[in-house]
Amino acid sequence: MGSLGPTAVSRRFPPDPASAAAARGFVLGALPGTASHLVDTARLLAGELAANAVLHARTEFEVAVRRHDGRVRVRVTDRRPDRGPVPQACPAYAGTGQGLALVEQLASRYGADTDGEHKTVWFELWSDGPPPPVSGWEPAVSPCASERSVTLIDVPAALDAACRQHRHAMLRELTFAASSADLYGLSPGDLATAGDISNVISACVTAELAGPLPESDLRTLSVALPADAAEAVRTLRRVLERAEEAAREERLLTLPALPRGRAFQDWFFDQIVGQLAGDRPTAWTVMPRDPEIGALEVVPWDAGQARTSGLPTVAADEGNRIIAANGPAADLLGWEPDDLVGRRLTTLIPEHLRERHAAAFSSMLLTGRTRIVGRSVPLPALHRDGTVVPVRLHIQTQETADGRTVFVAQLTPRATTSPAVPRVPGNGREPAEEGPAGGRPPTAPGRVNRRDGAERGMSALERLSLLADLAAHFNDTPDLTEGLRTAGRLLTRRLADWCAVDLFTEDEQVERVCVVHRDPRDLRLGAYEGRLPAASEDAHGPLARVLRGAGPLLLTDVPPPERVAGALDRRHLELLRALGASSAVVAPLRARRRIFGALTLARAPGAPPFTEADLALVDDLVHSLALGVDNSRLYEASRSIAERLQRSLLTSLPQVDNLRLAARYAASSTTAQVGGDWYDSFVLPDGNTAVAIGDVTGHNLDAAIAMSQLRSMLRGIAVDRQEPPGEVLRRLDLANHSLHQEATATCAYGFVAGPAHGPWELTYACAGHPPPLLTTREGGTRYLEDGAGLLLGMDPMPPRASARHTLPAHSTLLFYTDGLVERRDENLDDALDRLRRHTADLAREPLDTFCDELMIGLGADNADDIALLAVRPSSPPACDDGTWTLASRSRPAGGAGCARSGSALCLPGS
């Protein structure tokens, strides 16, 4: 480099982690009298390139420094000419991959040169003078040595970026640990092999990703790899598995991967090894996986979608802070959405569960193992006013574009439908779409490339496939808005660049429910949604005409402003212009002789325009959508009635001195929202406390009605007769047979008797119901199996036995329905043993925590309704003089929301 002067200094360094710091010190000593900002930058960049040489070349390297006329040039030369620099787009927070990015941002010029024996990466720093000529890495990036091609189908870009960063972070930390001989059971050779093949894979994948962006986050990659790479990939896999073990043992700073990351990495390596051995490719999206691993089509994190979701949604980052919350979630919990953002997630968690949440969240990050991600779990949420709101929680992880993990939680009020779990092909939930290679290539029939399909027209098979997929995607999501968004994503992949759905509300106003774009980046789509002006008489634009029943209408260009008459027309024109539309189709959503709204499909300039031939297909599409909207609204109406009925059937618990009671109820996550499970507790005229629980066969309105009748008759018989529980159940069965439609049901009924200071005794009987479980404070457990008899609805004449059992102070008596324990393909004895273990572990927990932990541990994805009633006798507090206080045995019920009155946690609104 003659222009920078003939003199230079250089030094060689061993491939040791300490060499990066030594290289920085060498550069500092080589630049006396140079401007401080140039020295600081040169030291930083030289250290990054030296670290790259240690991590990736692993050979002796030389650092050379020259300066002339206020300019500095630094070269780092190693002996791996085959290993060119591979710049990667890494976020600012990433722990690896920043070295070349820093060089690109801070150096005036940079580049790389190779010869037969060496590779040199260099940069120049200019303080003044004319701008430097253009430079870059391209000439130095060597193509992957390749003899075989591996096809990776449906790779989610965000998840792939996150896994790549995690893999490099693990290997980097292992390399540094190797310098102190702490190899975690790995040989130096295996570690070197793993680093080499990881670098080769990253270089080849990065080169493939440099191509044009696909229409969705999913992409198919054809990666060129050495034909003999399989054994090296197996070694890489072993090294990473050992690193994961060390991370879970907290012996590494890098956290272990979360389940979806591990599953993706396993699939990634399986595809490479398998295809190099001659196997055919299998798409990521058709691989069966556990619920916590995630959905068929990984949707990258989009705060706008979370905020506009119709389901109550809250999102948190890895720091346990809320980063987004929508209006329905804020309304449910008594907040404004903006007030929640930035707060700890524990703001929404009842106090008695916060410690448990903190431990579980920390354990998930430290071990990579989760308990409730991807599952539907009944839980209480904390309202801003301090009350609890029973919800069904469904959490999924999503990845941001820069590789971070976001935890997205949907909170469904307990009596309503749980969030739909996205369907995963290959696991029995949805038929997988497979191409000839076992995966789903981009051009497979039924999933055509949108632009190619538009240019040549859809075949009859493709049109039928689109209609079938639209109906399936829409109908699989019970929430109307989410269903329309899902349908919109399908339409924008296969037919249009963007679409919008406008619906009439109950008061005949027009609301833009959703706007979906093929590439929503940098578009504030939520700004176009919401209430629209009314379709007044002065509105004559295409949307107004369609809402009156016209169409489908073909728009070959955007209407000029002078043709816009009404406010609704102006809003529609603004949408067409803002999102870009060279052609569009506006079609009515019509079913049962009613207009529900309109669908707008648009193509951007440069795309083949819609034609008259497309109108028949769009007409079929909107007919399917309209039926879906109609069915969804009918379902929502019936669900609302069911919810009100269910809440009216949940009873308030009495407040009894020195006898704590708590109850929980969760509808099935997979069946109707009303069922036959119930619980009850009340004070008898003699002062004893009655407890009852039952389960009517069925999951429908008839079961709920029968349950209500049985519960009311049981209370009436018990209060009127005050007979032994067995006789009360016999009379209840007689009354049951007098009903127009007698019910088949199980029931457990008893009463707790005893003075305030104890001892207490339970007298009980069971009609085909699971036996109550008694757990002592010390963790001893016993099922109370005496007093068992036939279920109700079989034969009311035989006498029923009653049984007695002493209740020790601070023990917990649990009544429950079979939904808490029964699981498909599991022996009932094993299920009951599992319940024993849970209650033993929770024996000393507060009663609220006891119940909530049972619902968390045993109620996830429950296929049946769950009801439980817990009773805990406790000694009265001592007065200051050491004597016991004797209060009245009972006092009137406190009504709904009496959670903190010292006896029970009552369901709000029950």
Average pLDDT (748-761) is 91
Domain endpoint, select from 262, 293, 324: 293
Domain for residue 439, yes or no? Answer: no
Residue 73 confidence class, pLDDT cut points 50, 70, 90: very high
In this prediction, residue 827 carries a pLDDT of: 85
Residues 349 and 233 in one domain: no
Q: Both ends of the chain: CA-CA distance in Å?
A: 83
Domain endpoint, select from 638, 660, 682: 638
Q: How far is CA 505 from CA 11, 530, 815, 848, in A?
A: 76, 11, 45, 41
Residues 358 and 391 in one domain: yes
3-state secondary structure of 848: helix
Domain for residue 847, yes or no? Answer: yes
CATH number at residue 455: 3.30.450.40
Pairwise CA distance, residues 867 & 707, whole Å = 13
Average pLDDT (424-444) is 34
Closest CA to 691 of 436, 882, 868, 888: 868
Neighbouring CB atoms inside 10 A of 699's CB total 20
Residue 290 confidence class, pLDDT cut points 50, 70, 90: low
Neighbouring CB atoms inside 10 A of 466's CB total 24
Cβ contacts of 94 within 8 Å, gap of 6 or more: 165, 402, 403
Residues 607 and 662 in one domain: no
Neighbouring CB atoms inside 10 A of 120's CB total 19
**How buried is residue 334: exposed, middle or buried, by Cβ count under 10 Å (0-12/13-18/19+)?**
middle
Taking the alpha carbons of 693, 696, 699, 700 in that order, is the dihedral positive or negative? negative
In this prediction, residue 728 carries a pLDDT of: 94
Q: Which pair of structure tokens corresponds to residue 549?
A: 């029943």
In this prediction, residue 661 carries a pLDDT of: 94
Closest CA to 338 of 322, 349, 350: 322
Pairwise CA distance, residues 493 & 325, whole Å = 28
Q: Which amino acid is at 578?
A: A
Estimate the share of the chain in helix, then strand, then coil, as percent rounded to the nearest 5.
35, 25, 40
In this prediction, residue 430 carries a pLDDT of: 35
CATH number at residue 403: 3.30.450.20
Domain for residue 438, yes or no? Answer: no
Q: Which amino acid is at 827?
A: N
Contact 475, 627 (CB under 8 A): no
In this prediction, residue 71 carries a pLDDT of: 86
257-296 burial code (b ≥16 CB/10 A, e <16):
bbbbbbbbbebbbebbbebbeeeebbbbbbbebebbbbbb
Residue 272 confidence class, pLDDT cut points 50, 70, 90: very high
In this prediction, residue 861 carries a pLDDT of: 65
Contact 624, 580 (CB under 8 A): no
Contact 885, 876 (CB under 8 A): yes
Total count of domains within the chain = 5
| Helical pair 157-178 and 230-248, crossing angle rounded to 10 deg | 80
Of the chain, the percentage scoring pLDDT greater than 90 comes to 23
Average pLDDT (576-601) is 87
CATH number at residue 92: 3.30.565.10
Average pLDDT (73-81) is 92
Length of the chain: 910
Domain for residue 903, yes or no? Answer: no
Residues 663 and 602 in one domain: no
Residues 530 and 478 in one domain: yes
Pairwise CA distance, residues 676 & 490, whole Å = 39
In this prediction, residue 286 carries a pLDDT of: 74
Look at the block and give the residue holding tokens 């029939």: 445
Pairwise CA distance, residues 910 & 901, whole Å = 16
Q: How far is CA 632 from CA 107, 269, 475, 479, in A?
A: 59, 42, 8, 7
In this prediction, residue 760 carries a pLDDT of: 93
Bridge partners, residue 530, by sequence:
512
Residues 60 and 157 in one domain: no
Pairwise CA distance, residues 758 & 773, whole Å = 20
Higher pLDDT residue, 461 or 680?
680
Average pLDDT (843-861) is 87
In this prediction, residue 476 carries a pLDDT of: 61
Element (H, E) at 660: strand 659-666
Pairwise CA distance, residues 138 & 206, whole Å = 13
Pairwise CA distance, residues 381 & 403, whole Å = 29
In this prediction, residue 299 carries a pLDDT of: 55
Average pLDDT (61-82) is 89
Neighbouring CB atoms inside 10 A of 176's CB total 16
Residue 89 confidence class, pLDDT cut points 50, 70, 90: low
Higher pLDDT residue, 169 or 132?
169
Residues 732 and 868 in one domain: yes
Average pLDDT (480-486) is 81
Residues 548 and 410 in one domain: no
Q: Which pair of structure tokens corresponds to residue 420?
A: 């739909």
Domain for residue 378, yes or no? Answer: yes
Q: Assign residue 446 a region: left if phi > 0, alpha if psi is -120 to 50, beta otherwise?
A: left
Candidate from 5-19, 430-444, 678-692 with smallest mean pLDDT: 430-444
Candidate from 259-268, 507-516, 602-611, 733-742 with smallest mean pLDDT: 733-742
Neighbouring CB atoms inside 10 A of 786's CB total 14
The pairing of strands 760-767 and 788-789 is parallel
Average pLDDT (160-173) is 85
In this prediction, residue 752 carries a pLDDT of: 95
Statement: residue 640 has pLDDT above 50: yes
In this prediction, residue 474 carries a pLDDT of: 66
Pairwise CA distance, residues 429 & 465, whole Å = 18
Higher pLDDT residue, 160 or 287?
160
127-159 burial code (b ≥16 CB/10 A, e <16):
eeeeeeeebebeebbbebeeebebbbbbbbbbb
Residues 658 and 741 in one domain: yes
In this prediction, residue 175 carries a pLDDT of: 79
Statement: residue 422 has pLDDT above 60: no
Residue 570 confidence class, pLDDT cut points 50, 70, 90: confident
Domain for residue 59, yes or no? Answer: yes
Of the chain, the percentage scoring pLDDT greater than 70 comes to 78
Average pLDDT (638-656) is 71
Domain for residue 347, yes or no? Answer: yes
In this prediction, residue 729 carries a pLDDT of: 94
Statement: residue 604 has pLDDT above 80: yes
Average pLDDT (421-438) is 35
Phi, psi of 600 (to 5 degrees): -110, 120
Taking the alpha carbons of 262, 263, 267, 268 in that order, is the dihedral positive or negative? negative
Maximum average pLDDT range among 122-136, 153-167, 693-707: 153-167
Contact 666, 392 (CB under 8 A): yes
Statement: residue 88 has pLDDT above 80: no
In this prediction, residue 127 carries a pLDDT of: 76
784-804 tens-digit pLDDT: 999 899 999 888 888 899 999
Higher pLDDT residue, 121 or 428?
121
DSSP-derived letter for residue 295 is: -
In this prediction, residue 869 carries a pLDDT of: 94
Q: Which pair of structure tokens corresponds to residue 408?
A: 């997205």
Residues 198 and 330 in one domain: no
Domain for residue 121, yes or no? Answer: yes
Residues 548 and 657 in one domain: no
Dump the DSSP string for 503-571: EE-TTS-EEEEEEEESS-TT--GGGG-EEE----TT--SHHHHHHTT---EEESSPPPGGG--SHHHHH
Maximum average pLDDT range among 286-300, 383-397, 790-804: 790-804
Residue 240 confidence class, pLDDT cut points 50, 70, 90: very high
Cβ contacts of 138 within 8 Å, gap of 6 or more: none
Look at the block and give the residue holding tokens 């995963």: 424
Residues 721 and 748 in one domain: yes
Mean pLDDT of the chain: 79
Phi, psi of 490 (to 5 degrees): -65, -45
What pTM does this model have?
0.56
Residue 902 confidence class, pLDDT cut points 50, 70, 90: very low
Domain that holds residue 88: 2-140
In this prediction, residue 899 carries a pLDDT of: 33
Statement: residue 234 has pLDDT above 90: yes
Residue 644 confidence class, pLDDT cut points 50, 70, 90: low
CA atoms within 13 A on the CB side of 867: 27
Higher pLDDT residue, 389 or 840?
840
In this prediction, residue 24 carries a pLDDT of: 93
Higher pLDDT residue, 209 or 752?
752
In this prediction, residue 254 carries a pLDDT of: 85
Domain endpoint, select from 420, 455, 480: 420
Look at the block and give the residue holding tokens 């905020």: 307
Statement: residue 821 has pLDDT above 60: yes
Bridge partners, residue 807, by sequence:
760
Average pLDDT (798-818) is 93
In this prediction, residue 271 carries a pLDDT of: 93
